[in-house]
Structure 1
Amino acid sequence: MAAYTPMIQQYLQIKADYQDAFLFFRLGDFYEMFFDDAIKASQELEITLTSRDGGGDERIPMCGVPYHSAASYIEQLIEKGYKVAICEQTEDPKQAKGVVKREVVQLITPGTMMEGRGLNEKENNYIASITSFDDATYGFAYNDLSTGENKVTLLTGGFEEVLNELSMSGAKEVVVSSSFDADLQRKMRERSVLTISFEDDTNIQSSYEHLLKELNQDKLRVTSARLLNYLYRTQKRSLDHLQPISTYQVHQYMKIDYYSKRNLELTETIRSKGKKGSLLWLLDETKTAMGGRLLKQWIDRPLINRDSIEKRLSFVETLMNHYFERQDLREKLKEVYDLERLAGRVAFGNVNARDLIQLKRSLLQVPHLKEIVAGLPNEDARHFADRLDPCEEVTDLLERALVENPPVSIKEGNIIQDGYNEELDKYRDAMKNGKTWIAMLERKEREKTGIKSLKVGYNRVFGYYIEVTKANLHLLKDGQYERKQTLANAERFITPELKEKEALILEAEEKSVELEYQLFVELRDYVKEFIPRLQALARTVSELDVLQCFATVSEERHFTRPAFSDDRRIVIKDGRHPVVEKVMNAQEYVPNDCYMDADREILLITGPNMSGKSTYMRQIALTAILAQIGCFVPASEAVLPIFDQVFTRIGAADDLISGQSTFMVEMLEAKNAITNATKDSLILFDEIGRGTSTYDGMALAQAIIEYIHNRIGAKTLFSTHYHELTVLEEELPKVKNVHVSAIEQNGKVVFLHKIKEGAADKSYGIHVAQLAELPEDLINRANEILQELEQKAVSETAMNNDDRQFENDPSDMIEETQLSFFDEPVIKKQAKFNSKEKRVLDSLKELNILDMTPLQALNTLYDLQKKLRG
């Protein structure tokens, strides 16, 4: 360390505390990085790597980014999962004795972003913490620093349940203790967690003790304290916008595990990992950013409380029946900005005047929203209207204080209105009069000298000056002005009077800017006092936004209000897959019914590939989810039970990261369902067992159906190509066969996409290959092979039937011979036989069959039987 310069020593001392982050070290107008940080940052940011003399034996690597454009570079690093420690100068360089003091003022991480392109306006940016307790319980807390939301729960279903909550939240960063199990950390990374951070301090600090006052368990408090300590330690500032921590239990909502959420494409599609094509994409008619975030939360956590569901449905129905009021509501919501994140930025101290103007414009819409909602004939409308707090004190102050179109910067003035502050008005008057005097001076000096091109200008180095071109210098009298600067084509001069006026103007400008900044900070601090009210308003507005969104989509897509059964019946008439229907022309989509009751617990679905089995299964699940988030559903009639959980096994994909094959993924998802499902659950299994050999797969599929039928009793849709399984309808009373119909026309298959009772007669696999336009020769050869296999199967079936017959009664042998060859006396009597029978008897004697065991005799007889049939 001693070999380096004092400045590099300072850098290394600070860096020692931030080994897992890029240290942005402020030097003048740049953030500089050194050593390994510089090498890695130059690669990640594609910026030039240089070097400098650090006082040691070798030059040290260095790179840097300009201070004014650092935000975009920081965002690039955060998006890649890195952390950035911002190290600022904390004293005036002019007053520094030796190296200027510096310290880290903020650690920016993937889970603590407050602004920038890294924040999707309609998605929360969660950071989570996990605490492992000795009794196999896990504490799970998460926070969105940009909105202040805080939640915590205890999980007892093993680490898989923790992973499920983690994927549900979409947390980009997870905080754990430094001793947290390494294997569990690996599992979190496999679920796409960007960053794992460490925090061992779980002591409850006085600065945030008020946030924990509603928590009545030590485990909840410890888990939350770990996360809060990390936030306060890294952000190093007031976090007054953090909301009181609310607890929740996973069983309060319909449980949709990671696999099912992915397979049903609730918030993103499997292929593109994007929103388009998902249920969220279909539903998102929200008009506000916070409404969009709440919609995603509702889709992730459907309700299971019937009263709460019915309240949402009733309000949606009211909005559907009042078109004009709904349209007015949508128009006003369009003018409401992101109140949650605006409040967060106010508390965080990075709000600017434009943000406060957005806040003012948003609050001005609240009285209109209140009037619209209060006029709706719904018993909950009054409660909504009462919760719509316009915060008039804030609106009034911002209206008086801020100009309508302020600049982005809050330190360069021109943000406060005239008339708001008397002292500021005086400074502005001095500035205005001074500039008027400057203009009059220019006009007067032109007249006095006769130089029409003479001008009075200003720059930051020399202040105000009189500029005369060299061609006109001869018109000036000696000593008329004091020479200040010589240019290529002109000379610049000053006068005592001009410098005196300049001092007055610049003093007024400087004090004006300082005063405006001071007034803005006072405004910000005043608004900060209203943060709890603004957050409560934001929750109400976002809820209204989601409900109007449901009404809008339900009307446009011709959805109907669902009813709920107490006897676990499912009655869906003309059901559709809402996303597929939107992508297709609505007239082309074939609707289908679904009926299940106590005698129809399991539907065994057969039919060709591409016929719509998976679509049918998914639409049943999506209908249930839509109903339980409080939205109308895509059907002409829908009666549903309230499901506690939804499990799916649809599609085939290897899990390459964890090294698991398609079949292993399939079995893990099946295991998850059958070990956690209850009679109130919904299970969708698509082609279970296809990833292994035919007999293995068929055996597993049948065993799974029997297990669900006999032990669980959950409503289950099970699609399969194993036609042999259709006999289960006769063996298991609650299993019913249905199929997706198809017909052949001119050698080609036509999918009708209609669900009908009974089992399908064939799979049409080669027809599907033909639709995919595989080569004609290949198709023809496949048909030949298929015929050979079918003939062979028929032959083997006949032989297997004989096998079973022999096993049951070895005396019942070949019907053609009518010979009981195990009956020795019959054979020895040499009874009258026809010529064919005599040949059989002679052959048996030659083979010494009477001396064989029954099994040897059967095998020998098969060989003979084949010859005879041939």
Structure 2
Amino acid sequence: MTELTPMMKQYLTIKEQHPDTILFFRLGDFYEMFFNDAEVASKALEITLTARDSGSGQKTPMCGVPYHAAESYIARLIDKGFRVAICEQVEDPRTAKGIVKREVTRIITPGTVTESSMLDETRYNFLIGIVRDDLGYGVAVAEVSTGYFAMTEITGPMALSRLLDEISRLKPVECILPDELKENKEIQAKLSAFRGLSLNYFLRKSFSSGVSYNALLEHFGTCSLEGFGCEGIQLGIRAAGGVLAFLKETQKKALTHINKIVPYTTDFYMLLDNATRRNLELTQTIRDGQKKGSLLWVVDHTVTAMGARLLKLWLEQPLLDIATISERLDAVEELASNAIIRSDLRKLLDRVYDLERLAGRIAYGSANARDLIALKGSLEVMPQVCDLLRDAYSPGLARIQETLDSMDDVVSLIRDSIHEEPPLSVRDGNIIKTGFSPDVDKLRTASREGKQWIASLEAQEKERTGIKSLKVGFNKVFGYYIEVTRSNLAMVPVEYTRKQTLANAERYITPQLKEYENLIMGAEDRVTQLEYDLFCEIREKINREVRRIQKCASLIAALDVYRSHAEAAVRNNYTKPVVTDGDVLEIKEGRHPVVEKMLSDEPFVPNDTYLDGSGYRLDIITGPNMAGKSTYMREVALICLMAQTGLFVPAEYAKIGIVDRIFTRVGASDDLATGQSTFMVEMNEVANILNNATSKSLVILDEIGRGTSTFDGLSIAWAVAEYILDTGKIGAKTLFATHYHELTELAEIFPGVQNHSIAVREKGEDIIFLRKIVPGGADRSYGIQVARLAGLPGEVLTRAREILATLETTEDLAKGQREAAAGRKKHARVDERRQLSIFEEPENINPAIEEIKKLDILNLTPIDALNLLYKLHLKLREE
């Protein structure tokens, strides 16, 4: 260290305090990186790696990025899993004695990003903290860019499974754990399975009960957490305290926009496990992870960033409370019935910027003048929104109209103070409007008059001296000057003072010119600094109103979602569902919301559904592949989910008894990461259903038991159906699609079971899928016809028909299977007639074939091959 330059010593001292980050070290107009940071960052960012002398006699690796373009480079590093520490100059280099003082002003991690250019405006950027004890888990959720802060506890049986479901719902980008969990391999493995989730560990003491509780009290300035409804939620408090400590450690700010904490319980929402979210394709498709083809794609007509995020959040957490669901549905109904208000609202909301994240940047002190103009333009819309909703009668819309704050004081402040088209940087001047500050106006006048005097100086001096080529100029080194060519030097007045000699001219100054130069330059510097100071004062005044801005943002977001729901209902011919606390699930002419949108050349065939908790709990659905069984079952699940979200539904009529959970077992594939086969993945999902479903759940099962042998699969499918059907165990409303036609016998053995099938029409060797659900089970699977549609070779299809005919005439096990599965007979007699083997070779093999088998093909010449072929031909003809 003694051999290093003072700047490099300063760098290494700061870097030692932040070893797990890429340190962006501010030098003038660049952020520089040195040593290993430079080597790592240059590769990650694909920028040039250079070197500089550090004072030790050796070259130090170095790379850098311009400070004005740093956001894009930081975003790329964050995406690649790095943390970035921003080290700024914290004193003016012009007044600094010795090396400029520098400090880390912020550490950027995936969950602490606030820059709009680094965020997806349509989704929340959640950071979560998790603690664990013998009772279960505490979870805290923070969204730094908006100020959202919440907590919950997950305890009791299957707590870990429910925790993972909650993480699946939130889709956080970063998870903070107490460092004591570094050694917990189970939790690490479970959390690492979530794509895009960065794991970080923080001081254990920050998550302790006493430290966490006191940290929350200090931050919110309260004597207890009762006002937030959080008192006594011990695990949640521990997680929240740890998250808050992490944020303060990394952000180096007071975080005033995080001004409340919201307790919530997962019992308030319909629980959806990760498999169900994936199978129902709520926000993205299974195939390629795109929005198009998902439920969100169909129903999203939001126009604000806040509305888009809230809509996605609502789809991920359907409600269980009938009163709240009804309030949403009533608001949607009112807007759906009034096209003019709906259209006018869209135009107004389209002018509203992202108020949530604008408030966050104001609180952070990173908002610029353009952000304030965007805030003003957004708030100016509020009185017009209130006026449109003046006659609203639904409780949800009426409350928005009554509580929406027009924030006239904030609008007036920005309107009076900030130029409508300010520069991007708050240090470039020309931010403050004329008339707002007398001091700014005075300095601007002085600067303007000085420039006018200098502009007239050239003409005056040309006339006074008679030097026609005389010019007045300016550069950053010498300031203003008078330039005279060499041929006219004899005419230069004596009061001119030579300043610079050029090849063909001399440059001069005068006392008066320097006086005006000092006036202009001093005024410009002073007015720029004064404008910056005034802007910071204005921003701080607005920061004191951040709570009001956040409240306004939440109301506008809800209004935008209501309007979006109404737009989806009108465009797609949806109907208002009847949501009850009963067990009846009745749908008439129901449609799949996504599939009907994707169909372009044929109409969607609607279907009816009826399930309840007594007479019709289990519906066995049979029929060929591609006929529409899976689409139908997903359609029913989505209609229930849409209704409990507050959406209208694609049906002529829908009566939905509240569903506490939706489970789907639809398709599976090998999990190579954990070494699990398709069948093992399937059985894990089935086990999750059997262990967690209740009588209020909706269960969707598609082809249980396909991944093992026929008899094993049939036995498992039958046993699962019986278990779910049993009201003493589960008794859930269930749609069960299967190719095991033997399961249709359940309807004759147990009450509460019904059979349906997908209707088809045969036309020669072809079949036509009618897509209609009809009573009764299917009598066959039409597998060979479907294979023909898929393009299998004719020879394979012919052989398949032969094998099928053989199996149908030689194997009669149906009756025995039914009795064994129903428990009525312990032993079933099986016909011992020998079954023809599909793969058995004929007993007499032609000698010509034997001769071909013995050939050495690789050493056979073309002539030999022709001769041999001729001999074999003759031999076969003789036989």
Q: TM-score, normalised on structure 1? A: 0.88
**How far apart in 1 are the matches of 2:175 and 2:111?**
8
1:170 aligns to what? 171
| Maintained 8 Å contact 1:766/1:783 | no
2:159 aligns to what? 158
| Maintained 8 Å contact 1:86/1:107 | yes
2:27 aligns to what? 27
Deviation for aligned residue 1:772: 3.0
Deviation for aligned residue 1:195: 1.4
SS at match of 2:113: coil
**How far apart in 1 are the matches of 2:92 and 2:531?**
22
How many percent of aligned residue pairs carry the same amino acid? 46
Structure 1 residue corresponding to 2:536, chosen from 485, 505, 521: 521
1:130 aligns to what? 130
1:847 aligns to what? none
Alignment of 1:592 with 2:592, yes or no, is: no
2:744 aligns to what? 726
| Maintained 8 Å contact 1:81/1:194 | no
- CA 1:473–1:267 in structure 2 vs 1: closer, same or farther (change >3 Å)? farther
**How far apart in 1 are the matches of 2:814 and 2:288?**
50
**How far apart in 2 are the matches of 1:619 and 1:488?**
86
**How far apart in 2 are the matches of 1:613 and 1:345?**
50
Deviation for aligned residue 1:62: 2.5
Deviates more, 1:407-416 or 1:438-447: 438-447
Alignment of 1:461 with 2:484, yes or no, is: no
Deviates more, 1:744-753 or 1:329-338: 744-753
Pairs within 5 Å for 1:666-815:
666-710=682-726, 711-774=729-792, 778-797=793-812
**How far apart in 2 are the matches of 1:62 and 1:764?**
69
Structure 2 residue corresponding to 1:622, chosen from 626, 638, 641: 638
**How far apart in 1 are the matches of 2:620 and 2:817?**
30
1:656 aligns to what? 672
SS at match of 1:107: strand
1:329 counterpart letter in structure 2: L
| Maintained 8 Å contact 1:303/1:629 | yes
- CA 1:379–1:163 in structure 2 vs 1: closer, same or farther (change >3 Å)? closer
1:11 aligns to what? 11
**How far apart in 2 are the matches of 1:412 and 1:450?**
40
SS at match of 2:128: strand
Deviates more, 1:186-195 or 1:140-149: 186-195
**How far apart in 2 are the matches of 1:266 and 1:220?**
28
**How far apart in 1 are the matches of 2:135 and 2:501?**
81
Alignment of 1:314 with 2:330, yes or no, is: yes
Deviates more, 1:158-167 or 1:103-112: 158-167
Deviation for aligned residue 1:220: 2.4
1:388 aligns to what? 404
SS at match of 1:712: coil
- CA 1:554–1:79 in structure 2 vs 1: closer, same or farther (change >3 Å)? same
| Maintained 8 Å contact 1:451/1:475 | no
| Maintained 8 Å contact 2:220/2:259 | no
Deviation for aligned residue 1:223: 1.4
| Maintained 8 Å contact 1:125/1:171 | yes
Deviation for aligned residue 1:494: 2.4
SS at match of 2:701: strand
Alignment of 1:182 with 2:185, yes or no, is: yes
- CA 1:862–1:352 in structure 2 vs 1: closer, same or farther (change >3 Å)? closer
**How far apart in 1 are the matches of 2:672 and 2:734?**
29
**How far apart in 2 are the matches of 1:305 and 1:673?**
23
1:77 aligns to what? 77
1:210 counterpart letter in structure 2: G
| Maintained 8 Å contact 2:322/2:580 | no
1:192 aligns to what? 195
| Maintained 8 Å contact 2:397/2:559 | no
Question: Could you report, residue by residue, the CA deviation over 1:409-443 in whole angstroms, capped at 9, with x for unpaired residues?
Answer: 11111011100011111111111111111121122
**How far apart in 2 are the matches of 1:281 and 1:651?**
23
- CA 1:89–1:643 in structure 2 vs 1: closer, same or farther (change >3 Å)? same
Structure 2 residue corresponding to 1:532, chosen from 534, 547, 551: 547
2:541 counterpart letter in structure 1: Y
Deviation for aligned residue 1:4: 5.0
Deviation for aligned residue 1:116: 3.7
Deviates more, 1:521-530 or 1:374-383: 374-383
**How far apart in 2 are the matches of 1:264 and 1:804?**
36
Structure 1 residue corresponding to 2:583, chosen from 563, 568, 581: 568
Deviation for aligned residue 1:330: 1.3
Pairs within 5 Å for 1:335-484:
335-448=351-464, 454-468=470-484, 473=488, 476-477=491-492, 479=494, 481-484=496-499
| Maintained 8 Å contact 2:191/2:197 | no
- CA 1:859–1:719 in structure 2 vs 1: closer, same or farther (change >3 Å)? closer
**How far apart in 2 are the matches of 1:644 and 1:485?**
86
**How far apart in 2 are the matches of 1:12 and 1:431?**
44
SS at match of 2:247: helix
1:830 aligns to what? none
Deviation for aligned residue 1:488: 6.2
RMSD across aligned positions (CA): 2.7
1:225 aligns to what? 241
Deviation for aligned residue 1:237: 1.2
Question: Could you report, residue by residue, the CA deviation over 1:239-298 in whole angstroms, capped at 9, with x for unpaired residues?
Answer: 110031111110111111111111111111112212222111111111111111111111
Structure 1 residue corresponding to 2:627, chosen from 597, 605, 611: 611
**How far apart in 2 are the matches of 1:483 and 1:803?**
114
2:201 counterpart letter in structure 1: F
| Maintained 8 Å contact 1:8/1:54 | yes
Question: Could you report, residue by residue, the CA deviation over 1:123-181 in whole angstroms, capped at 9, with x for unpaired residues?
Answer: 11110000011x23100011000000011000013222212111211110100011112
**How far apart in 1 are the matches of 2:832 and 2:201?**
71
SS at match of 2:499: strand
Deviation for aligned residue 1:859: 7.1
1:37 aligns to what? 37
| Maintained 8 Å contact 1:141/1:227 | yes
**How far apart in 2 are the matches of 1:654 and 1:140?**
31
- CA 1:767–1:862 in structure 2 vs 1: closer, same or farther (change >3 Å)? closer
- CA 1:780–1:52 in structure 2 vs 1: closer, same or farther (change >3 Å)? same
Structure 1 residue corresponding to 2:517, chosen from 482, 497, 502: 502
1:104 aligns to what? 104
| Maintained 8 Å contact 2:327/2:394 | no
| Maintained 8 Å contact 1:82/1:195 | no
Deviation for aligned residue 1:607: 1.4
- CA 1:101–1:796 in structure 2 vs 1: closer, same or farther (change >3 Å)? same
**How far apart in 2 are the matches of 1:772 and 1:685?**
25
- CA 1:188–1:437 in structure 2 vs 1: closer, same or farther (change >3 Å)? same
| Maintained 8 Å contact 1:374/1:381 | no
| Maintained 8 Å contact 2:139/2:235 | no
- CA 1:709–1:46 in structure 2 vs 1: closer, same or farther (change >3 Å)? same
Question: Could you report, residue by residue, the CA deviation over 1:548-598 in whole angstroms, capped at 9, with x for unpaired residues?
Answer: 111111011000010134541222111111111112239621111112233
Gaps in structure 1 of 5+ consecutive residues: 814-854, 864-870
Question: Could you report, residue by residue, the CA deviation over 1:667-708 in whole angstroms, capped at 9, with x for unpaired residues?
Answer: 111111111110100111111111222222211111111110
**How far apart in 2 are the matches of 1:862 and 1:545?**
67
2:517 counterpart letter in structure 1: E
- CA 1:495–1:771 in structure 2 vs 1: closer, same or farther (change >3 Å)? farther
| Maintained 8 Å contact 2:84/2:108 | yes
**How far apart in 2 are the matches of 1:49 and 1:182?**
38
